[in-house]
Structure 1
Amino acid sequence: MSKKITNNNDQGSQTSAPLEEAAVTPAQHTETLIESDVRLRPLLKPAGIIFLCSLAISFFVAQTVNPVWVEQKTVFQVYESSNGSLVYTYKGEEVAFTADTVPYAQAELNQQSLDQLVGEPTTRQQWVTEVVSNAGEESVQYAQLEAKYHLGIWSLLPAVLTIALCVLTREPLTALLGGVAVGAFMLGRFDLTGDVLIPSLASPGTASVLLLYLWLLGGLLGIWSKTGAAQAFADYMTKHFVRGPRSAKVVTWCLGVFFFQGGTISTVLVGTTVRPLADRENVSHEEMAYIVDSTASPIASILAFNAWPAYVQALIYVPGVAFLATEADRISFFFKSVPFSFYSIFAVLGTLLLSLGITRFAGGGIRRAQQRAAATGELDAPDATPLAAEELQTSKVPAGYASHVSEFLIPIILIIGTAITTFALTGSPNVHWGFGFALLTAACIALFKGMKLGELVEGLGDGLKGVVVASVILMLAITIGAISKDVGGGLFLVEMLGERIPFWTLPVCLQLLTMAAAFSTGSSWGTYAIVFPLAMPLAWAVAVNQGVSNPELFMTICFVTVLNGSVYGDQCSPISDTTILSSMTTGCDLMDHVKTQLVPATIASAIAAVLWTATVYWFA
């Protein structure tokens, strides 16, 4: 029997070629697994040695290394509400201001006090007031001081170990567990269950992630697998819109741009929606994961009609800088910086070029994956371990049940509609509601069309089993990110920068710094909270001290290098939630996605670095 690859209109110059369809026998499959194990075995010994050495170092650090305490200041615009009480805005929500304040000079947590500190501060958080002068007018500024610390170069150990183990073993679960253990021991938390994992599971953030991606997403995918809804959608799109791999990728890119809320929202919606039709058209999972991931956070920082400006503006206040004086000024500053978000622009443009069949900037890994899928129909590399489980890769439609595309489209419309409506009403999209409505609606439609309750529950169970491993990896990624933050990895990287550098090199220094911090912690927003309060005052001081002729442009470029550098680091990190979810929803091996995406993302980052440096050197 032979399989023929047809020359579709959107496949460029690809010619028809008969290929022998080789059925894989159990013996051949076993042989492949043995060969993969043989290739991996030489790497396990150094991985074990590295882990044991890191474990020993973590005990040494816990016993002997003293923390370096650093002041972190976040300025808030406190104002009087309609009922006369003091409030401030945090992450788009109005919060009552009821804290006691002290003058900044008398604060226990200002840097001068922390430098003289012996032991630990008696409090980790403190509200302060300062009298600041803006355009000759004095006003009272409210700020929250936090006492953060790092452990020097050792602060990077948990993240570096996790990434090294991921690369060596290609097994993210054990790599993350190893990083969590080492980080916890450095902090003196020797009961991993009671001191680390249970508190992490009990945190609202982790519980929210597990609810969304384990129960709601897993259940919805399971129902779609049982009803054949995803396959019906693939059939419909193939018949009306998709004519081959190229158009399947263009549809994916368009959806990525359309879902511009960014981050986990975009990756889940786009990956879940397009995978059936992409698989039908033999698009490699590496290509799909790259397109989904690179049209998530990058597009959110360009089409910033989302929660990003409201969150970031609270972190970039600099005393005495008129164009950052008020919340409205800072949000306006964010939007004015969009044309200079060169990395995000090139990242999105790179995925468009790939979708159109232009692979010059995609890297060898992407090109090999594309050629493999076109020639053999294999969507994953031979030694890949996809995060999507077998339960979600095939439809198990009961006999006599008629699948329809509406069973896929109605839940998707509910998810999008709920997210947009709640964003318009509250300023933040409630994705949990959207997925909850979608899951309930998909179940009701299936029951109404005659599916038995037992069959529906079986589909739900398959869905939960299909995402449980990826959800555990996601939970551990959140845990290692929190531990990296606790040991001060990002804070140490920022302190390494120093202030004695030529002004035109500062943007690229900030870019490299935030790339490393976000890659190490797997979080762009977490990196913003660490870097922005330090980078923006530093940029202003450099602009003033070195006589920069256009300080606002200089500050804008420094701002977008932190914004974009964090997006790059988050996007490329194997411990990032968006990286893991992009792999999970597209069915890609996590480390295959990381390695193939790293090349085009780095090319986009390098081009952006050149443009930022040139802009500052010639125009600032």
Structure 2
Amino acid sequence: MARAGSSPPFLFILAALLVSVWISSSVNPTWVEQKTTYNVEVADDGSLTYRYKGQSTRIDDVVPYEQSPLRQSELDKLTEAPGLERQWVSETLASGGDTAVRYSLLEARFHFGVWSLLPALAAIVLCLITKEALLSLFIGTVIGAFMLGRFDITDAVLIPSLASTSAASVLLLYLWLVGGLLGIWSRTGAAQAFAEFMTRHFVKGPRTAKFVCWMMGVLFFQGGTISVVLVGTIVKPVADKERISHEELAYIVDSTASPIASLIAFNAWPAYVQALIFVPGVSFLATENDRIRFFFDSIPFSFYSLFAVLGTLLLSFGVMHVAGPGLRRARERARSTGELDAPGALPLSAKEIQIPDIPEGYRPGLSEFFLPLILLISIAVGTFVYTGTPRVNWGFGAALMSAICLALFNGMSLRNVIEGLGSGLKGVVLASVILLMAVTIGGISQEVGAGIYLVELLGDQISYWMLPVALQLITMVIAFSAGTSWGTYAIAFPLAMPLAWAVAINSGVSDPALFMSICFATVLNGSVYGDQCSPISDTTVLSAMTTGCDLMDHVTTQIVPASIAAGLAAILWTVLTIALV
């Protein structure tokens, strides 16, 4: 029997840590200019402002681009870090005898070449080998911190990350509000009452149960964590009652989240993405309205999202030909043995919120499930309609308070309510900590320049017919490595869209606008794929948490049908691109 110290995971971790220390001391970073152009407006007081994610921000200290120390020609001369991290610059553009001023934000970013992939790669490999997501994410974070010379992991990495707004949002929403609501529903039996209601009126077996799950994913088209939490929470009791494996359920929930949001884009996605796709001299991307219209015009080319959603629909109807062996085995196991998880699985959703614990004499009512749910959806959708941003925290907070009040009104003791809250919090602690570590390693991966390095690999000499699939592959890897689609958009779109326009013009593409739409869709969809399949993505973790699935079982069973959808999409993009000339 081998000693624990000589096991492959231990040796891998030791080697990766040693390499990260060597990188910190011996590898000089490559500095890269990153330019993002915004729509800048003149305020009433004469100051310059720009809008980003729905907020107006003042711009100060704008300098001409030719004077900026952050332009690439100056960064190439550096032997150490530049004195500035970012700077607003202006450029005067001439077109047809007219001149216009363009304002851009220059940032000095760096990468360590291929070594920039090490933190995310180490975390993913360890996840696959050990199936210990928390340990793997922590090791990946430590490796990235060592590469940046931050050897005080607690004070220099973990505390700043955990003290961030994103970490506070994770704790507030996914630990306290979601965990508390699930705990109350488990204690009152509201989720069980809902499952019984759906079984009596709509669900007639596993197929209809999975179809209900698919329909919920389509209806909640806000995407990302919002869709995953809502759909997973709602459908799990129904699916468990019909003996649907947790791997199948997690796949349906995950694959009808971001893919649906990119297809039914009446959400925050267009407003966010449009700020990243301005290309100088391209008339159909000139204004914010033009770019939003371009987003919607490009939706028909979102082939990966279309195939991903179609694949889950086929799965719900029992068509398993493109589901992959993992999902097929999970389905047969659940049907033949009733076991919803694989042997040895470690579900992220603890038993405290999976098994109802109804006090003796308490009779659950269907209203205790529907009223909080209606309140949650109304607030989330209503705030999006009126403010442009769905206030999910408000929705879950109101849902939790209403669930507590209904339980007390229906005769449950305050002690049982408090115990239900505690059980709910306990049930999602592990998933919340994993989610926090996923946020941390995603930030570390961006800091070491993983995304920037991968985009640079494209170069500027690529053939026009290869560009869409190249953009798809590069964004798939970036999003998979960083665990984020929106973070990938911020890295890839400002580089990919000008590259696509230049390739279209230089290659004599007959319809440059259509070519740009295809390239746009490949970046959008490639990022969705990478985020959806990454074990360090928040939506992947939450899909496993809300459906009670083992994280790595979800990852390994989902990646096959998702990759089939991505491969089919790549073929269609290539054929369509070749047909342009």
With structure 2 as the length reference, what TM-score do the two structures score? 0.98
CA distance in 2, matches of 1:380, 1:408: 26
Q: CA deviation at 1:43?
A: 12
Equivalence map 1:262-273=2 (5 Å): 262-273=223-234
Which residue is equivalent to 1:565? 526
Cα distance in 1, alignment partners of residues 96 and 400 from structure 2:
55
For residues 604-615 of structure 1, what are the structure 2 equivalents within 5 Å? 604-615=565-576
Matching residue within 7, 15, 26 for 1:64: 26
- Residue 79 (structure 1) aligned to one of 18, 31, 41: 41
SS of the residue aligned with 1:503? coil
2:139 is matched with which residue: 173, 178, 184?
A: 178
- Structure 1, unmatched stretches of 5+, are 1-37
Contact 1:507 1:612 in 2 (8 A): yes
**C-alpha distance in 1, partners of 2:462/2:59?**
41
Separation (CA, whole Å) in 2 of partners of 1:96 and 1:158: 33
Percent pairwise identity: 63
Structure 2: distance between partners of 1:138 and 1:466? 61
The answer to whether residue 53 in structure 2 is matched with residue 91 in structure 1 is yes
Q: 1:390 aligns with which of 346, 351, 354?
A: 351
Q: Which residue of the partner structure matches residue 432 of structure 2?
A: 471
Residue aligned with 2:457, SS? helix
Looking at structure 1, the residues matched to 511 and 160 of structure 2 have their Cα atoms a distance apart, in angstroms, of: 48
Q: Decide whether aligned partners of structure 1 residues 41 and 574 sit closer, same or farther in structure 2, where only a CA change above 3 A counts.
A: farther
Q: CA deviation at 1:99?
A: 1.2
CA contact (8 A) 2:50 2:59 kept: no
Superposed CA deviations along residues 142-198 of structure 1, whole A, max 9, x for unmatched, are 111111110111100000000000000011011111111111111111111111111
The structure 2 residue matched to 1:147, chosen from 78, 103, 108, is 108
Find the counterpart in structure 2 of residue 232 from structure 1: 193
User: How many angstroms apart in 2 are the aligned matches of 1:481 and 1:98?
Assistant: 28
**RMSD value over aligned CA atoms?**
1.5
- 1:492 corresponds, among 449, 453, 459, to 453
Show the counterpart of 1:414. 375
Q: Is the 8 A contact 2:529 2:566 kept in 1?
A: yes
Q: What pairs up with 1:132-211 in 2 under 5 angstroms?
A: 132-134=93-95, 137-211=98-172
Name which of 342, 345, 355 aligns with 2:306: 345
CA contact (8 A) 2:31 2:111 kept: yes
Alignment partner for residue 319 of structure 2, among 343, 358, 362? 358
Q: Secondary structure at 2:416's aligned position in 1?
A: helix
CA–CA separation in structure 1 for the residues paired with 2:289 and 2:93: 18
Inter-partner Cα distance in structure 2 for 1:221 and 1:154: 42
User: How many Å separate the matches in 1 of 2:3 and 2:230?
Assistant: 37
Q: Distance in 1 between matches of 2:82 and 2:65?
A: 16
**What is the identity, as a one-letter code, of the residue corresponding to 1:127?**
W
Q: Does 1:278 align with 2:239?
A: yes
Q: 1:228 to 1:416 in 2, by over 3 A?
A: same
Q: Is the 8 A contact 1:132 1:320 kept in 2?
A: no
Report the 3-state secondary structure (helix = DSSP H, G, I; strand = E; otherwise coil) of the residue aligned with 1:87.
strand
SS of 2:466's equivalent in the other structure is helix
CA distance in 1, matches of 2:500, 2:212: 41
Question: 1:311-368 CA distances to partner (integer Å, 9 max, x unpaired)?
Answer: 1111111111111111111111100000000000100010001011111111111111
Structure 2 contact 509–580 (Cα < 8 Å) conserved = no
| Cα deviation 1:71-101 (Å, max 9, x = unaligned) | 11111111235676543210122x1323110
Structure 1 length normalisation: TM-score?
A: 0.92
Matches of 2:193 and 2:489, distance apart in 1: 42
- Contact 2:145-2:153 within 8 A present in 1 as well: yes
Equivalent residue pairs, number: 581
Counterpart contact for 1:225–1:394, Cα < 8 Å: yes
Shift of 1:276: 0.2
| 1:574 maps to 2:531 | no
Partner of 1:318: 279
Q: Is the 8 A contact 1:265 1:431 kept in 2?
A: yes
Determine the structure 2 residue equivalent to 1:26: none
1:49 aligned partner, one-letter code:
L
Change in Cα spacing, 1:246 to 1:545, as seen in structure 2 (3 Å) is: same
**1:33 is matched with which residue?**
none
Q: Return the alpha-carbon distance in structure 2 between the equivalents of residues 239 and 160 of structure 1.
A: 47
2:265 alignment partner, one of 304, 314, 327: 304
Mapped contact 1:226–1:397 kept (Cα < 8 A): yes
Alpha-carbon deviation of 1:44?
Answer: 8.3
Shift of 1:103: 0.8
**Structure 2 residue corresponding to 1:537, chosen from 498, 505, 508:** 498
- Shift in Å, 1:249: 0.4
1:34-59 deviation per Cα after TM superposition (whole angstroms, max 9, x unaligned): xxxx9x99998111111100000011
**In 1: Cα distance, 2:370 partner to 2:190 partner:** 9
- Aligned residue in 2 for 1:52: 14
Contact 1:58–1:182 (CA<8 Å) still a contact in 2? yes
Of residues 450, 459, 471 in structure 1, which corresponds to 2:420? 459
Aligned to 1:290: 251
Contact 1:386/1:584 (<8 A) preserved: yes
1:553 and 1:105 map into 2 onto residues whose CA distance is: 33
Q: Which secondary structure does the structure 1 equivalent of 2:579 belong to?
A: helix
Task: Read off the aligned partner of 1:390 and give its amino acid letter.
Answer: K
Correspondence 1:511 to 2:468: no
Specify whether residues 549 and 135 from structure 1 end up closer, same or farther in structure 2 by C-alpha distance, changes over 3 A only.
farther
* Partner-residue secondary structure (3-state), 2:104: strand
Q: Match of 2:546, as an amino acid? A: T
- Give how far 1:132 is off: 2.0
SS at match of 1:60: helix
Alignment deviations for residues 431-479 of structure 1 (CA, whole Å, 9 cap, x no partner): 0000000000000111111111111100000000000000000000000
Question: Displacement, 1:416?
Answer: 0.7
Question: Corresponding residue for 1:255?
Answer: 216
SS in 1 for 2:510: coil
* 1:127 alignment partner, SS class: strand
Cα 1:44–1:274 shift into 2, 3 Å: farther
- Whether the aligned pair in 1 keeps the contact of 2:124 and 2:136 (CA below 8 Å) is yes
Q: Does the 8 Å contact 2:47/2:59 carry over to 1? A: no
Q: CA deviation at 1:105?
A: 1.4
Structure 1 Cα separation of the partners of residues 326 and 97 of structure 2: 58
SS in 1 for 2:157: helix
- Corresponding residue for residue 17 of structure 1: none
Work out whether 1:243 is the aligned partner of 2:170. Answer: no
C-alpha separation in 1, matches of 2:4 and 2:325 = 25
- Partner of 1:88: helix, strand, or coil? strand
Q: Give the secondary structure class of the aligned counterpart of 1:97.
A: strand
Q: Residues 135, 573 of structure 1: CA spacing in aligned structure 2 closer, same or farther, 3 A cutoff?
A: farther
